[in-house]
Amino acid sequence: MHKKWWKEVVVYQIYPRSFYDSNGDGIGDLPGIIQKLDYLKELGVNVIWLNPIYKSPNADNGYDISSYYDIMDEFGTMEDFDKLLQEAHKRGIKIVMDLVVNHTSDEHKWFLESRKSKDNPYRDFYFWRPGKNGGPPNNWTSFFSGPAWEYDELTGEYYLHLFAVKQPDLNWDNPKVRQEIYKMMKWWLDKGIDGFRMDVINLISKVEGLPDDKEGEKQGGLIGFRYYANGPRVHEYLQEMNREVLSKYDIMTVGETPFVTPEIAKLYVEYDRNELNMLFHFEHMDMDCSGSKWNIKPWKLTDLKKIMYKWYLALKDKGWNSLYLNNHDQPRMVSRFGNDKEYRVESAKLLATLLHTWQGTPYIYQGEEIGMTNCKFESIDEFRDIETLNWYKEMKKLGKSDEELLEILNKRSRDHARTPMQWDDSENAGFTKGTPWIKVNPNYKEINVKKALEDKNSVFYYYKKLIEFRKRHPVIVYGDIQMLYENDEKIFAYTRNYEDERLLVVMNFSEEESEFLAPKEIFTQKPELLISNYEIDDNIQEKIVLKPYEARVYKI
């Protein structure tokens, strides 16, 4: 068994802008995080992943970095960061930083230089190309709507930006770019950080010649990705990064990788490849949409089971999975995969049970541990996210109504994840003494940390229990998985097996009571109930009737 500390931990993701504001300017900050470390210690998590905290003009909330060696003004200073690192370590909590190196801000000094003239030494740090037939160099489109190219008057050429206009793509084919990045990574690692979450890391190698994507144009949706997702030199670059940087430290790495299948993922995470420890794939995030994230359709439990089991099998004994159901780019999981009305608490606990009893490293997104939900946005002015705002503008041009667009955004906007953390029932949910940069979810009087800590049956304490459980039962981390009820649309059930420990997990993903018939070899062994999200006290019978969103974990 390939034992590693990063398989045994639970990661807690912090979106600093929305976590806790210590100085009343309406924006969360590093001192705010320090003040809440004891809360995270109480929850029991071992690692914090911080969304970007580097200097940034915030076109995309820190994913547009203007200096990799400085802290964003609104978040504090490098002294604050050093203190955060020290205080976290004191409590046995590691810090993983976001690494955003597919692109920089257009205000980064490399780009400011690069844009000055065609023969500037930094020109080749980015992708500059002359136009074609009076338009951009190719037909690629941006993740944030519109073309992936921006014209720059000064030199009469276009630059590539797969994301916002203010996020020009770095040219990884230039060895100087790679060396600058490795140097910067070492600088942070030498400070003592414990790893990196690598932003869209599988997009860094573009096909030479940046060809037009004819196929993509026919299909619609995002055009161009087949020429840069998992591109020709990406493994060469990651192996180089591993050789020169990662392998020199005892850290964890997780790559954010859209457009990967388990077969492709193996190339990034198999132990003998020396690239990354694990990935965030998107297959389960794509279950409830078709073509693009805005085209919503219902999801099916059998799809979720198939996807999770397929990934488990593919990486079994050769690599490792990360487990998440939401993050700063996704709607809140309880609103999307559970029921955020009458079964909010039950379904939040059910989803937690899945994340913490499947094989892989679980990632909790801030607020998930108290069952925070999507927010009801009343008008377009309440949104802040560039992806949302650009898409809205594009759709308005096509003649769509506000009503229609709001309905989609109220399910899908990234801002659902970004409303402030709900600490208590005082004004602004206790997030800030000033005016919050984005609206607070109006349900904060009902759903908040203070209330959760006062109620022993809260979602919070259920998470705490699952996290403790992981620490005491190696079967959770290292055990293999056998699926039961594979084709059932309501029941998700499996056993976990490791050495002489065996668990049975049974979950009802529906609003109706559902029956589970235990295999004989299980119920005859008088399994013992370890965890459940309803008050029950029974040993397993041949037949169990599960209540809506009920989840149970038994020791066999």
**Which residues of the chain form contacts with ligand GLC (CB under 6 A)?**
60, 63, 100, 163, 199-200, 256, 328-329
The distance of closest approach from Cβ of residue 255 to ligand GLC in the complex, given in angstroms and rounded to an integer, is 11
Contact status, residue 200 vs residue 169, Cβ threshold 8 Å: no
Q: Which is nearer to Ca ion, 21 or 157 (CB)?
A: 21
Residue 194: contacted member of ligand GLC, Ca ion, none (CB under 5 to 8 Å, by partner type): none
Residue 201 tokens, joined = 């890391």
The distance of closest approach from Cβ of residue 62 to ligand GLC in the complex, given in angstroms and rounded to an integer, is 9
Q: Which is nearer to ligand GLC, 256 or 369 (CB)?
A: 256
Looking at 14-22, 283-291, 323-331, 349-357, which segment touches Ca ion (CB under 5 A)? 14-22
Residue selected from 13, 15, 21, 421 as contacting Ca ion according to rule CB under 5 A: 21
Among the listed residues 256, 368, 387, 550, the single catalytic one is 256
Q: Which is nearer to ligand GLC, 201 or 238 (CB)?
A: 201
The distance of closest approach from Cβ of residue 419 to Ca ion in the complex, given in angstroms and rounded to an integer, is 16
97 is a site residue for Ca ion (CB under 5 A): no
Q: Which residues contact 342 (CB under 8 A, 6 or more apart)?
A: none
27 is a site residue for Ca ion (CB under 5 A): yes
* 256 labelled catalytic: yes
Query: What secondary structure does DSSP assign to 153-169, as a single string?
Result: TTTTEEEE-SS-TT-PB
Q: Which residue is nearest to ligand GLC (CB)?
A: 63
How many residues belong to the site for Ca ion (CB under 5 A)? 5
According to DSSP, the β-strands at 501-508 and 491-498 are: antiparallel
Q: Which is nearer to Ca ion, 27 or 85 (CB)?
A: 27
Residue selected from 23, 242, 302, 390 as contacting Ca ion according to rule CB under 5 A: 23
The distance of closest approach from Cβ of residue 71 to Ca ion in the complex, given in angstroms and rounded to an integer, is 12
Kindly list the distances between the CA atom of residue 507 and the CA atoms of 96, 309, 313, 373, in Å, as whole numbers in the listed order: 32, 15, 21, 21
* 199 labelled catalytic: yes
Q: Which residues contact 447 (CB under 8 A, 6 or more apart)?
A: 344, 370, 371, 372, 373, 422, 441
Kindly list the distances between the CA atom of residue 108 and the CA atoms of 56, 153, 189, 386, in Å, as whole numbers in the listed order: 9, 19, 22, 19
53 is a site residue for Ca ion (CB under 5 A): no
Query: What secondary structure does DSSP assign to 470-499, as a single string?
Result: HHH-HHHHH-EEEEESTT-SSEEEEEEEET
CA 468 to chain centre: 23
Among the listed residues 29, 98, 199, 346, the single catalytic one is 199
Q: Which is nearer to ligand GLC, 213 or 256 (CB)?
A: 256
Looking at 13-21, 39-47, 338-346, 482-490, which segment touches Ca ion (CB under 5 A)? 13-21
Residue 27: contacted member of Ca ion, ligand GLC, none (CB under 5 to 8 Å, by partner type): Ca ion
Looking at 17-25, 34-42, 268-276, 305-313, which segment touches Ca ion (CB under 5 A)? 17-25
- Cα-based angle 417, 315, 250 (whole degrees, multiple of 5): 75
User: Rounded to whole angstroms, how far apart are CA atoms 384 and 53?
Assistant: 18
The distance of closest approach from Cβ of residue 170 to ligand GLC in the complex, given in angstroms and rounded to an integer, is 12
Tell me whether residue 146 is exposed, middle or buried, using C-beta atoms within 10 angstroms of its C-beta: 0 to 12, 13 to 18, 19 or more: middle
Query: What secondary structure does DSSP assign to 212-254, as a single string?
Result: --HHHHHH-SS-SGGGTTT-TTHHHHHHHHHHHTGGGS--EEE
Q: Which residue has the tokens 């109620």?
A: 455
Residue 25: contacted member of ligand GLC, Ca ion, none (CB under 5 to 8 Å, by partner type): Ca ion
Catalytic annotation, residues:
199, 256
Residues that bind Ca ion (CB under 5 A): 21, 23, 25, 27, 29
